[in-house]
Amino acid sequence: MAMLAQPAQAAVHNVKNYGAVGNGSANDTAAINRAITAANEAGGGIVQFPSGTYRSPNSIHMKSNVTFQLDAGSTIMGAGGSGYDPPEPNQWDDFQDYGHSHFHNAMIWGDRLTNIGFVGSGTIDGGGALITGNPSSGQADKIISLTRCENLTVSGIKLRRGGHFAMLINGCKNVVSDKLVIDTASDRDGWNVISTTNVTITNGNFAGNDDALAFKSDYALGQKLTNGNVRVYDTKLSAGCCNALMFGSETCGDFTGYDFQRIDIKGSNKSGLGLVSMDGARISDVHYKDITVSGVRSPIMLKVGARKRCGNNPGVGTISNITYDNITISGASPSFSPTIMGDPGGHVSDVTFNNVKITVPGGNGTMSTNPPSNDPKNYNPNSIGTRPAYGWYIRYADRIKFVNSSVDFNSNDGRPAVIANSSSDITFENFSVEKGTSSPFDVGFQSVNGYCFRGPGSPRINATGSTEKCTVGNDFQIAVDPPSRTVQPGETASYAIRTAAISGSPGPISLDAENVPVNTVVQFNPAQVQPGESSTMTVATLPSTPNGTSNITVTGTAGPVSHTATAVLTVGSGGQLEVGDLAVADTANAGDWSIQANLRTGVAQYGDRAFTFTTVPAEIAGATWIRTANDSKSATQNPLVRFTINRDALVYVAVDTRSGKRPWMDNLWLDTGLQLVNNEGSPKTFQLFAKGFPAGEVALGPNAASGSNYSVILE
């Protein structure tokens, strides 16, 4: 994630030098704003708050290239009255709640800012004066309110008594937070991250009354914006009335690329882990791992609704490619069963639960096993009537898999442990259930096309209008990354073919391709892989290959089992690959980075060294590439470099073999087996890792290691 780009010796502007008193009673707002303006006009700087209480009954206007440094013992304190800025008009008010639609009625606000921060060990406190509902003109309902910001750091400080929101950001990118404390347990939301990309939150401690940490996408800025590339690690969350870790309810733009690890949730009267698509959003690639949840009414809830409260006539969204690994949950009484509820027009699909163990209070009597009521315009867990299963209730879902998981109760329950309805490919492998003494059965499948249940204790299975699909003991899955490529006639396209075991021990997987366009050759390297390994599929076109789009069918076969995936190849209409908007966070060496054409032997690898390439693999010869600075090898900014591509492309990162694969490279980065070599003293070898990226921005992390800095190649 991008860090603040402050000058190495940023000037410090002590607010007391601008007239602030810090005695808790004087109005220090004007002095604070003067210090901000001075720092901004100087090209950037630090606004320092020494120990003291700085009363601010008026809005503080944040500006670019300014960092608040709150020293130990310092507090910026909100106040009652009618001195805060009035809410700005918003023609898109009808598409979200009032609090999400207006941003100026806050203690601190800013729009279209870059390189800003709130750091130190002090506190920003609403003082009990901020409004939790809709404020009147002159009242504030937020502590920090930021729109369309870039490069934001919020670390070390504490936010208290935030009114409706301790912090609300919308349309931002490149956000870093470490050791942030939020205490709005007496008010409402902790932090709402809305329509924001590139976020890293670590070591947080957020206690909210409404939502503690929520990811949303609304229409407050007059457009649907994308969301994603978010990491939340080592963070504690709790919520009073509502949700602890939540997606929604505002869900206009699509969400993709979320990673939650080592999260501890204590208390939530709605969802512990909530994920809803209510306004047409496609939510995908969300991963939860090593999470402990206790004292929640709704342990896990995934729901696709049809509220459609967004501009541009949204349809019904979807939820897909979600994983839960090593999750332990104990629910509170009364409870809502863990639920997967899709919509007839938008199913929940491709969700895997691995080592997910849920204990619910139980205590319900026997009831009908028919589907419960469901309000498609309401995202709350109580929008679905009492579930007919005490454990998992699943409806309108496809390809849902549970592995080494369980549900049980504290008090005997008369409902089955699991019911799946109107779904397909629902699989339970080594899934254990606690049996209610008066339940009609333990696991039920109602109108499920392809179910399988394997677990200890001989549970009673009831299947109505359903077909069993347990004949395959050894199974695997196959995927294409990226799913589509665009080339000109005569060029080649590379795809990573990724495999994974689903059950048992499938043997080697042989790969083949069908529906290949004419005058095109497909090769796999290797042509046979073990489950969990990847292969590179190279599609070589000729100058005579006709323009158009083809859906190449990639088939993997292991014994009697075959699965397919689709690789989309467009020939001729994508145009030449263009790389632009190069931005390097290592400002000291950024001038030595540059975009280059025609990668070949004999050209200088770095902008600050004379070393040249002596070996360039044929697969990348002639490619567009980025000449980096070797002196950036120890930089730690994440991302270190960002750039844009005008079409889908395969990005190679050539890493010094003495360093190996970098920690920020996820499992989608494929070791290609290719190597670059330079003439640095004793020649140095660079291992090529590749990953497909769609058109748009690409962000790469730091080298942050000894040896030589990496190089970047694109095709």
Question: Which pLDDT does position 198 carry in this prediction?
Answer: 96
Question: Which pLDDT does position 651 carry in this prediction?
Answer: 94
Between β-strands 60-61 and 696-700, what pairing exists: parallel, antiparallel or unpaired?
A: unpaired
Q: What is the DSSP string of 504-528?
A: S---PEEEEEESPPTTEEEEEESSE
Tokens of 610: 């004379």
Q: In one letter, which amino acid is 394?
A: I
pLDDT in tens, 199-218: 999 999 999 999 999 999 99
Question: Which pLDDT does position 1 carry in this prediction?
Answer: 38
SS3 630: helix
Tokens of 575: 């145009």
Q: Which domains does the chain have, with CATH numbers?
A: 12-89+108-364 (2.160.20.10), 475-571 (2.60.40.10), 579-714 (no CATH)
**How far is it, in rounded angstroms, from Cα 634 to Cα 520?**
43
Ordered strands of the 561-571 beta sheet: 484-487, 561-571, 548-558, 509-514, 528-529
Q: How many CB atoms lie within 10 A of CB 222?
A: 11
**Stretch (H or E) spanning 67:** strand 66-70
Between β-strands 624-627 and 74-77, what pairing exists: parallel, antiparallel or unpaired?
A: unpaired
Cβ pair 334, 361 in contact under 8 A: yes
What length does the chain have?
A: 715
Q: What is the DSSP string of 169-234?
A: EES-EEEEEES-EEEETTSSEEEEEES-EEEEEES-EEEESS-SEEEEE-STTSS---EEEEEEEE
SS3 592: helix
* Residue 199: strand pairing partners: 175, 230
Closest CA to 708 of 686, 688, 690: 686
Cβ pair 271, 243 in contact under 8 A: yes
SS3 94: helix
Running DSSP on this structure, what letter comes out for residue 39? Answer: H
Write out residues in the chain with pLDDT < 70, as ranges: 1-9, 471-473, 560, 573-575
**How far is it, in rounded angstroms, from Cα 333 to Cα 68?**
43
CA dihedral (478, 479, 485, 489) in degrees, to 10, reads 0
* Residue 569: strand pairing partners: 485, 550
Q: How many CB atoms lie within 10 A of CB 383?
A: 18
Q: What b-and-e string marks burial along 171-201, b requiring 16 or more CB atoms within 10 Å of the CB?
A: bbbbbbbbbbbbbbbebbbbbbbbbbbbbbb
Question: Which pLDDT does position 542 carry in this prediction?
Answer: 77
Cβ pair 140, 165 in contact under 8 A: no
